[in-house]
Amino acid sequence: MLGPHAAHSPNADDLNTLYWVMLAIGLVLLVAINLAVIGIVMRFRSARGRQPRRLVVRRPAQLGTAGVFAAIVVVTFVLGVIKTHDAKQVEASGPNGLQATSTLLAQRSLTLPATPASQAPLQVKACGQQWIWRYEYPDGTYSYYELVVPVDTTVILNLCSTDVVHRWWVPGLSGKFDATPGESNQTWFRADQTGDYDGASYAFSGASYAVMRTRVRVVDVPTYQAWLQQQGADIQQAQTFVQQVNGEG
């Protein structure tokens, strides 16, 4: 109830770990402050004949208090940097994953693994448009709303937008990343389990923003290859049909 979606990708795991750490720190502070205030109010409500007693704070006490908060800052900052770095570090595809389909491109916002070419990640272009996501695969095949990827395979999403600012997030697979017109942005995931993962757009994008959702369908490698072939054939067939209709019209 209190926790985020179960992580099904290494980087989502980094995010979830830090969430629990921060929640624990937060809850301790929250309980301490509120209990202190409630306790003091119960204890020191006005009573006859008592004089207010002034606390004396000496310098060591002040520095000690500041030190406690400074320690929280240092710990959370260091943990934040470590986990951010880890989540940005793209891992290689696993043994059950797809073998190389594309060459590596230089990435601005991700750190890429030094892996043999056979384990190179699958690069998919994810374009937001009002109000649907369009996914384009390395061979030029595309799909709307649903991204189909093989299990245990590193997938790099190159985010782009053709109109307004969108923000891609599928809970359990990654963090949120912007698709802004004119900017390049990437994220990645490596799903460890087949199944459907639902997500949505998280940047307000106008009238039908609430229905701009998406789904990642993770399948095994043969199913993925069959699907890709079928999708390509379907697109080809539809285009031929449209050309025929246009020719007749």
The interface with other proteins within residues 10-39 (CB under 8 A) comprises 14-16, 18-19, 22-23, 25-26, 29-30, 33-34, 36-37
195 contacts: CB under 8 Å, gap ≥ 6: 217, 218
Joined together, the tokens standing for residue 53 give 């007693």
Residues 69-88 that bind other proteins (CB under 8 A): 69-70, 72-73, 76-77, 79-81, 83-84, 87-88
With contact defined as beta carbons under 8 Å apart, do 77 and 143 qualify?
no
SS (H, E, C) 235-246: HHHHHHHHHHHH
* Alpha carbon distance 161, 173 (integer Å): 21
Minimum distance between the CB of residue 113 and other proteins, rounded to whole angstroms?
17
Q: What 8-state DSSP symbol labels residue 188?
A: E
Q: Does 234 bind other proteins (CB under 8 A)?
A: no
In the stretch 170-209, what mask flags binding to other proteins with x, by CB under 8 A? -x--xxxxx-xxxxxx----------xxxxxxxxxxxxxx
CA gap 244, 237 in Å, rounded: 11
Cβ distance 169 to 106 under 8 Å? Answer: no
Q: Which is nearer to other proteins, 139 or 196 (CB)?
A: 196
Q: For residues 72 and 233, which CB has a smaller minimum distance to other proteins in the complex?
A: 72
Q: Which range binds other proteins by CB under 8 A, 58-66, 118-126, 144-152, 233-241?
A: 58-66
- Examine residue 9 and tell whether it contacts other proteins (CB under 8 A): no
User: Which of residues 88 and 134 has its CB atom nearest to other proteins in the complex?
Assistant: 88
Indicate the residue among 59 and 222 with the shorter CB distance to other proteins: 59
User: Residue 43: which H helix or E strand, with range?
Assistant: helix 10-43
DSSP code at position 179: E
